[in-house]
Structures are given as structure tokens and as C-alpha cells.
């Protein structure tokens, strides 16, 4: 089918402006109130979820305690909607109900709040999918567990596929698998299997669920029958773009690639083979094997679309942090105020703080960015948007800004190119 070869979805993306630093120098354009726990909550959702997967507590421990109240109570205030997550709008079912989902490369299935609900409490007044309004809605039936496709969250119970996301601290969602029609921009409608979430708690921001972009066959790309998708994260959320299928391809002649490597503990995550890190031209002295997934499933670097924060394995982080402190030569500020680990005082008159370029070396290529600091609007403090992790490293969204990230699942490659994502 020709249409299948040519799926383009260009949606976007309204949720939050992404306060951050951009380019070689820091621009002062965002608000003090946006730098704080609300700011990192979404990143931490993923962080904690993944760390829990490997049976270890989140790092730093205090984040877990502080995350839940924020998730539950702060999302209603517009000024706190700054987690950096993006929203994709879909219309679902024959009556075309509007649903806003957060695209997430670490989740292996899509799920959404689904009326009638036991618990679908949102802080914001946004539309929730009501299955009784859709004649095309149907439960996804099963005879045995393998019928419920390959998600480690699904099981077959009384001929109905149930699912339960309950080991992710920042949210839980439980319900059953269902099928309905998704209407995509400029494309024929597709029938998609998703989690009909009847019990949901935790952080959803302005969304009613998550779009699973992981590698399993229940994920959204798999259900579209495409082996490649891409996104280009912009500082302007309304210009952030996602592509599925043949339009998820290089726009310039100067792209790079690295292999997506498997991890037997969670085959749905996108791991890349990181081999080193360079700050301001100085290669940090760490054995290249420190970055690889270990036989117990820990370690490695995954690529995440929905968390803004980057995580580095602790020993790597400490060496990185030491180098940043050395190169920036700025007075340190109290980072715990912002629930981050490293902040500096800057002079308000000084409009251009020079951020050293950061290069992440991969097997076969390298990625360079200066998008890894954030600043308060007062222009007095900048903070590192990188945190240490005990178990896994995560390449977060801010560092991927203005890089077109192409997930070539069929060839097990991550391709990327530097672009101004506003113009894609
Ligand atoms: C910063 O946020 C506060 C609280 O939302 C708001 O009152 C103020 O106008 C904002 N300042 C700027 C410069 O946007
Ligand atoms: C996307 O969904 C949000 C939340 O339902 C809504 O406020 C917004 O108007 C929608 N945007 C578009 C372009 O449909
Ligand atoms: C869902 O739709 C049904 C049928 O129109 C309606 O009775 C019910 O109140 C709706 N549920 C919610 C929570 O809006
Ligand atoms: C999902 O993947 C598993 C393992 O790769 C395979 O056995 C199964 O047939 C697939 N299911 C569907 C519906 O594609
Ligand atoms: C994907 O392939 C399956 C099995 O061949 C088919 O049932 C489904 O309609 C296809 N979906 C799309 C969006 O083409
Ligand atoms: C830093 O801020 C935290 C949280 O506001 C506070 O508990 C701590 O005492 C501060 N540390 C210093 C050295 O001021
Ligand atoms: C990772 O990259 C290194 C350096 O190129 C290579 O020696 C190693 O075999 C790669 N590991 C995997 C799992 O691909």
C-alpha cells in the first residue's frame, strides 16, 4: 500500500514551553518559577521508572518523595507546566474524540485515560476519551497470554488482555487492551491497540496518556507497520515534529549514525553504544566500557524523548561535573533549591555565558551540543540539566533539541543530523 510507505504525522505540540539555554550562549527567556521540581518531574518519572526496573532506588532518593506531591498538585498551575514533555493530539473513534498524548520512546505501549473510569482524575480540564461514545471501540480479546502481544505489562485474564503499569513511581495506569481508530493528519485512519486506562494516578500534565514509541510489537510504530520514525525537538513546542515511515529520513547530506544495541533485560528500550564524553574539547578520562550495558541488565545509555533531563552513570557524572566546574569558573549556587545537582551564579549583566560544547561519543559517530543548561528568568542562576544515576544513563530531550533523531528500527540504527527544528 502506497500510503503505508508514506506515513507522515506532523503534530504538535503544545504542552510546555521549554525553558533552556540555547546555542553557544545562554539566552535569558524563561521564568524562575519554571526551574524547579515541576521542571524535572517528567524526567524523573522516566528516571525512577527505569531505575526501579532494575531493582534499585531512584537517585537521588529525595526525588521520589518529592515527586508525587508535585505530580498530583502542581500541574494545574500553568506556570508549572514546564516539564518539557511534548503533546501529540490525536482524534480517536468514529466521533473523533480529541486525545493528547505524551510521546515516549521508553514505553512499549500506548495508553490513555478511558471512560468509564474508576480513577481518571486530572488536574486540568481536558477531554478524556469515552469508549461509550465510539462505535468502533472494541475490547482486545485473548485466549492465552501470548495473544496479548509482547509487552511485559500485559496479561490475559478472563479472555481480556489486561495491563498494569505499576512499577513507575510517577504514574500508575491499569486497565485493559482495546482497539479503536486513530485519525492521523493527511493519512487514512488506522486501527490501533492501546491500553484503556480505567485506573490512573500520577503525573500526566496536560495529557491524558502516553504514546508508546518503544521497540515492542505493541508500540505505535509497530502498529503503523513502519520500521522507522523520527522527531525533531524544537525550543518552540509548536514546531516540534514527529514523523513515521518514509518521511522519517535525513533532510541534509550530512547525517551520522550509530548502532542500536540490545539489552536482554528490556528489549523495548533504545540503547546506543556510548564510548566516551568530551567537554570543551577535553576528553574525560573514563574507560569506554563504563558506558556499556552490563550482563545484569544495568548500565548503558538509552535515548528518551519525554524526559528533559539527561542522566549519566554516577562515576561518569562525577568526572563530568568536576570538568564543568573547572571550565566554567563560576561561583556555585544552591542547586537543591531547584532539585538539581549543580547550579552557578551568573551576573545579570552578563548576557552571554559561554557554555562549553559537550560531545557524546558513540560507536561510529559523535553528537555535540551546548543545550544542557537551564537558567532562571532573573538571569542570576544557571543549572546543569544532567543528574547522576546509579544504574542507567539517559540521553534526555534537552540535549536532543535541534537534532533530527531518526530511529531506524529495521536496521537497528540511530541516525541523526543537526537541523534547526523550527524549519523542518
Ligand atoms: C514569571 O512567573 C510568574 C509566576 O507565574 C509570573 O507572575 C511572572 O509574570 C513571570 N515573569 C515573566 C518575566 O514571565
Ligand atoms: C490539542 O489538545 C489540547 C488538549 O486537549 C487542546 O487544548 C488543543 O487545542 C489541541 N490542539 C490542537 C491543534 O488540536
Ligand atoms: C461517557 O459517555 C456516556 C454515554 O454518553 C455518558 O453517560 C457518561 O456520563 C460519559 N462519561 C463521562 C465521564 O463523561
Ligand atoms: C509479537 O512479537 C512476538 C515476538 O517477537 C511474536 O512471537 C508475536 O507473534 C508478535 N505478535 C504480533 C501480533 O505481531
Ligand atoms: C499492519 O499490518 C497488519 C498485519 O499485516 C494489518 O492488519 C494492519 O492493517 C496494518 N496496519 C496498517 C496501519 O497498515
Ligand atoms: C540549599 O537549599 C536547601 C533547600 O532549600 C536548603 O535546605 C539548604 O539548607 C540550602 N543549603 C545551603 C548551603 O544554603
Ligand atoms: C561498542 O563500541 C565499541 C567501540 O567501537 C566496540 O568495540 C564494541 O564492540 C561495541 N559494543 C557493542 C555491544 O556493540
Domain boundary residue among 219, 244, 269? 244
Whether residue 72 is contained in a domain is answered as no
Asked whether residue 8 carries a pLDDT value surpassing 70, the answer given is no
Q: What is the pLDDT of residue 289?
A: 77
Residues 220 and 257 in one domain: no
Return d(Cα 274, Cα 293) in angstroms, integer: 10
Gap between the terminal Cα atoms of the chain = 26
Supply φ then ψ for residue 174, to 5 degrees.
Answer: -135, 150
Whether residue 259 is contained in a domain is answered as yes
Residues 88 and 229 in one domain: yes
Cell of 267: 528489549
Closest ligand to 215 CA? 4
Q: What distance in angstroms lies between residue 42's CA and the mean position of ligand 1's atoms?
A: 21
Residues with CB under 6 A from ligand 6: 334, 336-337
Contacts of 274 (CB under 8 A, 6+ apart): 291, 292, 300, 301, 360, 361, 362, 393
Tens-digit pLDDT profile for residues 160-179: 999 998 866 567 899 999 99
Asked whether residue 187 carries a pLDDT value surpassing 90, the answer given is no
Q: What is the pLDDT of residue 82?
A: 34
132 lies in which domain range? 26-39+84-244
CATH of the domain at 230: 2.40.70.10
Q: Ligand 2, residue 127: give the atom nearest the CA.
A: 5
Positive or negative, the CA dihedral 409, 298, 310, 51 is positive
Strands 171-183, 97-104: pairing kind: unpaired
Q: Whose CA is nearest to atom 9 of ligand 3?
A: 116
Tell me if residue 226 falls in helix, strand or coil. Answer: coil
Q: Which residue has the cell 533504545?
A: 270
Whether residue 171 is contained in a domain is answered as yes
Residues 400 and 335 in one domain: yes
Tens-digit pLDDT profile for residues 124-162: 788 899 999 999 999 999 998 788 876 778 899 999 999
Name beta bridge partners: 359. Answer: 278, 368
Q: pTM, whole model, 2 decimals?
A: 0.81
Q: How many structural domains is the chain composed of?
A: 2
Residues 238 and 258 in one domain: no
Asked whether residue 390 carries a pLDDT value surpassing 90, the answer given is no
* C-alpha neighbours within 13 Å on the C-beta side of residue 271: 22
Residues 397 and 265 in one domain: yes
Domain boundary residue among 244, 259, 283? 244
Q: What is the pLDDT of residue 245?
A: 85
Residues 124 and 263 in one domain: no
Residues 217 and 261 in one domain: no
Q: Do the Cβ atoms of 19 and 82 come closer than 8 Å?
A: yes
Domain boundary residue among 244, 264, 294? 244
Q: What distance in angstroms lies between residue 396's CA and the mean position of ligand 1's atoms?
A: 26
Count Cβ atoms below 10 Å from residue 158 Cβ, excluding itself: 7
Residues 217 and 257 in one domain: no
Return d(Cα 11, Cα 386) in angstroms, integer: 28
Whether residue 101 is contained in a domain is answered as yes
Residues 334 and 219 in one domain: no
Q: Do the Cβ atoms of 45 and 39 come closer than 8 Å?
A: no
Identify the burial level of 234 via C-beta atoms within 10 angstroms of its C-beta, where 0-12 means exposed, 13-18 middle and 19 or more buried.
Answer: buried
Q: Whose CA is nearest to atom 13 of ligand 1?
A: 31
Q: Which of 302, 297, 49 is nearest to 165 (CA)?
A: 49
Amino acid at each position: 500500500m502506497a500510503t503505508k510507505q508514506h506515513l507522515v504525522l506532523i503534530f504538535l505540540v503544545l504542552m510546555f514551553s521549554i525553558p533552556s539555554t540555547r546555542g553557544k550562549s545562554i539566552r535569558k527567556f524563561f521564568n524562575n518559577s519554571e526551574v524547579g521540581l515541576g521542571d524535572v518531574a517528567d524526567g524523573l518519572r522516566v528516571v525512577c521508572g527505569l531505575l526501579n526496573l532494575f531493582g534499585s532506588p531512584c537517585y537521588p532518593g529525595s526525588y521520589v518523595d518529592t515527586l508525587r506531591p508535585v505530580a498530583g498538585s502542581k500541574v494545574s498551575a500553568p506556570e508549572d507546566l514546564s516539564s518539557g514533555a511534548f503533546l501529540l493530539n490525536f482524534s480517536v473513534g468514529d466521533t473523533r474524540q480529541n486525545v493528547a498524548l505524551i510521546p515516549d520512546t521508553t514505553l512499549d505501549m500506548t495508553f490513555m485515560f478511558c471512560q468509564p473510569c474508576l480513577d481518571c482524575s486530572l488536574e486540568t480540564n481536558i477531554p478524556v476519551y469515552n469508549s461509550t461514545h465510539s462505535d468502533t471501540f472494541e475490547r482486545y480479546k485473548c485466549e492465552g497470554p501470548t495473544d496479548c502481544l509482547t509487552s511485559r505489562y500485559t496479561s490475559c485474564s478472563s479472555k481480556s488482555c489486561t495491563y498494569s503499569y505499576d512499577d513507575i513511581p510517577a504514574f500508575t495506569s491499569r486497565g485493559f487492551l482495546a482497539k479503536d481508530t486513530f485519525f492521523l493528519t493527511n493519512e487514512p485512519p488506522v486501527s490501533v491497540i492501546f491500553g484503556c486506562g480505567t485506573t490512573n494516578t500520577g503525573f500526566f500534565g496536560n495529557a491524558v496518556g502516553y504514546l508508546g514509541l518503544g521497540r515492542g510489537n505493541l508500540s505505535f510504530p509497530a502498529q503503523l507497520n513502519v520500521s522507522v520514525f523520527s522527531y525533531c525537538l524544537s525550543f518552540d513546542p509548536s514546531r516540534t515534529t514527529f514523523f513515521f515511515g518514509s518521511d522519517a529520513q535525513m533532510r541534509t547530506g550530512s547525517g551520522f549514525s550509530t548502532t542500536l544495541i540490545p539489552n536482554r533485560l528490556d528489549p523495548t528500550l533504545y540503547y546506543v553504544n556510548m564510548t566516551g564524553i568530551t567537554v570543551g574539547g577535553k576528553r574525560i578520562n573514563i574507560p569506554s566500557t563504563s558506558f556499556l550495558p552490563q550482563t545484569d541488565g544495568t548500565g548503558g545509555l538509552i535515548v528518551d524523548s519525554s524526559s528533559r533531563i539527561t542522566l549519566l552513570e554516577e562515576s561518569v557524572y562525577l568526572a563530568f561535573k568536576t570538568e564543568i566546574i573547572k571550565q566554567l569558573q563560576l561561583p556555585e549556587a544552591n542547586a537543591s533549591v531547584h532539585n538539581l545537582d549543580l547550579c552557578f551564579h551568573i551576573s545579570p549583566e552578563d548576557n552571554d555565558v559561554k557554555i562549553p560544547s559537550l560531545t557524546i561519543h558513540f560507536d561510529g559517530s559523535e553528537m555535540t551540543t551546548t543545550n544542557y543548561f537551564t537558567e532562571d528568568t532573573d538571569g542570576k542562576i544557571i543549572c546543569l540539566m544532567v543528574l547522576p544515576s546509579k544504574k542507567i544513563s539517559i540521553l534526555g530531550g534537552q540535549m536532543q533539541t535541534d537534532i533530527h533523531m531518526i530511529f531506524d528500527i529495521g536496521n537497528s540504527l540511530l541516525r541523526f543530523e543537526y537541523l534547526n527544528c523550527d524549519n523542518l
